[in-house]
Structure formats: C-alpha cells, structure tokens
Structure 1
C-alpha cells in the first residue's frame, strides 16, 4: 500500500474517527486510523524506539549499522483510536527529533510503508516535539509543537457551575475531607468530547455530596503524569483518608458514574439501636471531650441506609461534630429524643450531651442549609453559650477554650486568669456569689 497522509490540521484528523463518520465512510476511516496505530506501535515499543533513536530509519529497516538485521515490525490489531489517544497522552521525552520514520507493516489489507513523520506533522501542524506527558514540553510537555493541541482546545467545562476546573494549586490534598471525582482529559480527545455532556450531568447530580472536578492535561501535563494518567479520558476518585485515588473502570453512563462516586463517600455516622448507644453518643459531646463543638446531631429516619449527604457531612465535620442516625421504629431512643417527630427525616441537635438543650432543626434537608447550620456550631461558641452551669459541676473537666468562652459569654471579669484552674475557679465563684 502506498504512503498515506493525514489532512493538514487536527480537525480534519479527528474527522476520520470511525465513530464520527457516516456508515459509508467507516471502512476508509478505520483504515486511516489503523495506519496511525501501526506507526504508534513502533514509537510505543521501547526496543523499536531505541533502535530508531540510535540508528534512525535505516535501523528500523535493518539496513543500518548494528540494525536488527532485516526485521519487519508487525502491527498487532487493536482499536486504532484507543491507540491514537494513548499515543498523544503517553509519549515519552526525546527520540525522533523530527526525522522521517517509515514503518513497514504487514498483515491483512494494511501492509506497506507509512511515513509516520508526515502523518503527525501534517495532522497536527509544524514540528512534532515528542514531549508528551513524560516531560520535555511546555507545562509538563502536554502542549505539542506548531499548530498542535494547545491552540485548539480550551476547556470542555468552561462556565459549568458544577465542574471545578482544577489546577495544581487547588487540587485535592490529603487533608481534604470531601470526596472528589476528577476527570483527566484533553480538549482534542474525541472520547473526552463525547463524555463531557454526561460528566456535566454527573456533576449536577452529585452536587453537595461529592466535589466534581476536571484537569485539562494540555495545560497541566505534570499533574496528569503525577497521577499515572496514560490515556484520555481517565476518571479517578480521591477519598478522604486514602493515600491513593481509585480509578473508575465501569460503564460511562451518567448514572453508573454517579452511583460509583456516591458509594465511595466515607462515613462517621453512628447507628443508634439502644438507649445505651445514645448515652455513649451524648457522652462524647459532653464537656467538650471528643468533639470540639460540643454538638451531637441525630437524624431520625425510616430509610435503611444512610444518605450520601449525611455521610459526606459526617466526614467533613469529623472531630468537630458527632453524627448519629436512628430508625424511627426504635422507640427507646426516640422517646428520649422527645418522641416521634411529625415528619421524617427529622434532625435533632443536642449541645453538650444535655437532652434538656435539644433543638429541632427547622431547615431543608439539603446541602446548603445543613452546611450553614453545622458551620454555625463548628467553633464551639454556640454550645458553650448554651451550657447549663451549676456550682457542683467539675469545671476542671472542661477544655480551657470552653471555659474561656463561658467567661466571655457571661461577661465575667477574670483579672489575672491565665491557667485553666483560674478560669474554672472564677466561674464557680461567680455562680456561688453572683459576682
């Protein structure tokens, strides 16, 4: 077969993706992409690349010094577009140097010579820098030379309110308490373009439960390499408390991706099945012992499983607020929480483990209102101001921050107070004498 050339720009190259052409052109499109994949196979094989790097085209054909002795490289059949995408998302540094490479292929209807340099140069404009995500190019090598990918792309998610355009400076870290779903993509990638509308649906459905982000690997190649991205699109989940992300391998429907992300949300929600369970929960909130805010949140529900939102909130406020859940049919617990609620789900807020300070949450069971409510308790001031003071209390058990907050809220003058004992004694004196 004579040498084939791709058309002059990226748009024309992508035009020949077999999924994007009419049925009558599919055979021709498949053939064109098969040729690119054959060329790719040489570049992606370390041995073959090493021969080319050292001996050039003649080495590949077996005629150069120390060449492979007349070897012919045979293409192994595969999905041409997958190979094409993986080539541009996984190219190593160096090698090639803009030389012309002809690869002899054999087998089927595609035997013949392919001038790989011509294909890539004409398809993507100008010199082909071979930088790839392995380094050597701009911003981690993701942008290719001449009229390459960088000039075409732009973001696939510009202006979408639910997809966060992530950069190295705001990428989720080990300290993040939200679960993140992140797509690594390239704007020129046909599969990425096809996925974009579904990914936006996923982001909208996960709002308030999971943070959804995207990384443009043309702009941030180093970041994509850091997380082992070898092809586009790649979707990974970053989960609080887990050192390594999980990669999504399932069906690329919006529902399948959403369900997978929701299933990964960690939970700190305690299940209350008895009055003793409730006592243990309240103890964790009393005297600021285990949760810094002094707040216990108890959700009364008739659902058999914990909602993703409640799990996400329990992780977000872990160590600050204690989250629990009880079935509406659990009478011993429900009675102690003030009796059966008028409607379900019902959220009870208990400060300092004191059921006499119980409050009924009146807002909507949605992310925004719940975040606002829990944030108002987060620093501990709200429960500190609600604490019921009695001279017989062992104030030494309270945290210094709580003692200071009580003194501030009650307007108690405490001259010379610097140690925890000073604050505790002054509060007791104030309660006993009234001044």
Structure 2
C-alpha cells in the first residue's frame, strides 16, 4: 500500500507556507492529520478521511500535513514524527488544539468529533417562556427560526449560527411544540408548521413581518441568502 493521495478530493494539503493562510481566521474550524508515509494508518483510512472532508465541506476544513515533507511544521505543532497525529483546531482557539484520541480514525468517529466541536449559537425553544424570551430579547435584531422535525441542532444550523451570530439571532423549535409556537405567534413572529418541514423563517422587525425562506436547505444556498440579507440590512442602517 502506497502513501495516501489527496488530489481530486476536498482534503486540503498544508505546508509550512500555507499553514498561516489557512489558520489565520479564528472562526475557521480545522481538522488536521499529521502523518508519515511510513505509518500506514492514513493510507488505510484515506477514503474515509476524504468522505469526512466532503460531508463537512463548508462547515470545517479537513486538512493533512505530510511530516516527511514538512518536519518543521509537524514539530511546531507537537506532532509525532513517524506516526499519525490528528488534532482539531477549534473556533476562536487555534492555540489550543484538541487531540483525536481514538487509535482508529473512522469516518463516523472523525465526523462526530468535528461536529460536536462546531459551536452553536442557536436558542432551542422548549417552553412558551423560551419562545417569549427569544422574541423579546434584542427586539431590533432580525431573527432566524428553524421549525424542525428533530430535537437536535444540526451541523448545518450550528454552522450558520456561528457565521452570522453578530447579524442575526437564531432559534430552533420542533413542529409539535404547540405551546412555544403559539407564544412566538403571539409575540408577532408568525411561524407556521404547514407545508414541507424542516423550514426556516426570517423575522424582520423593521418591517414587522415574517418570511418563509423559499430556497433549499443546503449550506451554500442558505449561507448565500443570509449573507445577502446581512448586506442589505447593513446598507439600510447606513442610510438611516
């Protein structure tokens, strides 16, 4: 079995010259595998690692460093030369990486390791009081509300809340939580559970209206939509 090959995949190959460029944004989450060609672990699991990179594209950067070619970088990052070391560089804490402790870097294990370290700025609305508090807090802020079929906050929604936490307030509510839904509607945030779910609703306080997001619930489309909305709101405020 030869050394792993990363071309035509979503895995980012880092070098001493590209490390700083890829890690300079404190909002970026990186998973980095430092490996040696002599250690067959990454060769055995390269397909799974590529799959993780594909699944988490847009949410985190999945990277590798070949320590045979980049020994200085591996030493700087306290990676064992001749073995495989996998570390996660979390949100706003690149100087405090988190080691992946399992001896087998499976697709599921690596995915869950990254996913649990994506921070969430989503308020989960469980009670009517939760819903009323969300509606009343930062009343001038645009609110993004996900009506979900599940209790758990998804990687997609966590990632969006991370990227747009300064522009919007995020919340999630399950479709069967009638008390919390009624409290939102009573506060003027008209969130409906008819139609296809999950669904995202956008409440714009300056217009006192709630819109249902019309596009697909994919990272690229939602990110583009929220980015456009944030720019429009910033331009509107500057013209006041």
Residue 190 (structure 1) aligns with: 40
Residue 145 (structure 2) aligns with: 298
List aligned pairs for 1:1-12, cutoff 5 A. none
List aligned pairs for 1:184-333, cutoff 5 A. 184-231=34-81, 232-242=83-93, 243-250=95-102, 251-287=104-140, 294-333=141-180
Other structure's SS at 1:304 match: coil
Equivalent-residue separation in structure 2 for 1:311 and 1:197 (angstroms): 26
Residue 164 (structure 1) aligns with: 12
Q: CA deviation at 1:338?
A: 3.7
Equivalent-residue separation in structure 2 for 1:383 and 1:357 (angstroms): 18
Seen in structure 2, the aligned counterparts of structure 1 residues 171 and 223 have a Cα distance that, compared at 3 Å, is farther
Spell out, residue by residue over 1:323-368, the C-alpha distance to the aligned partner (whole angstroms, 9 max, x if none). Answer: 11112122244241243231211100112376x3211011111111
Other structure's SS at 2:139 match: helix
Residue 350 (structure 1) aligns with: 203
Equivalent-residue separation in structure 1 for 2:69 and 2:130 (angstroms): 52
Equivalent-residue separation in structure 1 for 2:196 and 2:235 (angstroms): 30
Q: TM-score scaled to structure 1, two decimals?
A: 0.48
Residue 4 (structure 1) aligns with: none
List aligned pairs for 1:353-364, cutoff 5 A. 356-364=208-216
Q: Verify the 8 A CA contact 1:283 1:353 in the aligned structure 2.
A: no
Spell out, residue by residue over 1:363-405, the C-alpha distance to the aligned partner (whole angstroms, 9 max, x if none). Answer: 11111111111111233x33774xxxxxxxxxxxxxxxx2x32
Q: CA deviation at 1:205?
A: 2.4
Equivalent-residue separation in structure 2 for 1:286 and 1:221 (angstroms): 53
Does residue 239 of structure 2 align to residue 405 of structure 1? yes
Q: CA deviation at 1:165?
A: 1.9
Other structure's SS at 1:181 match: strand
Give the aligned CA root-mean-square deviation in angstroms. 2.6
Other structure's SS at 1:286 match: coil
Question: Which structure has the larger Rg over C-alpha atoms?
Answer: 1
Greater helix content: 1
Q: CA deviation at 1:275?
A: 4.3
Structure 2 unmatched runs, 5+? none
Equivalent-residue separation in structure 2 for 1:305 and 1:235 (angstroms): 27
- Per chain length, whose mean CA-contact separation is higher, i.e. which structure has more relative contact order (CA < 8 Å, sep 6+)? 2
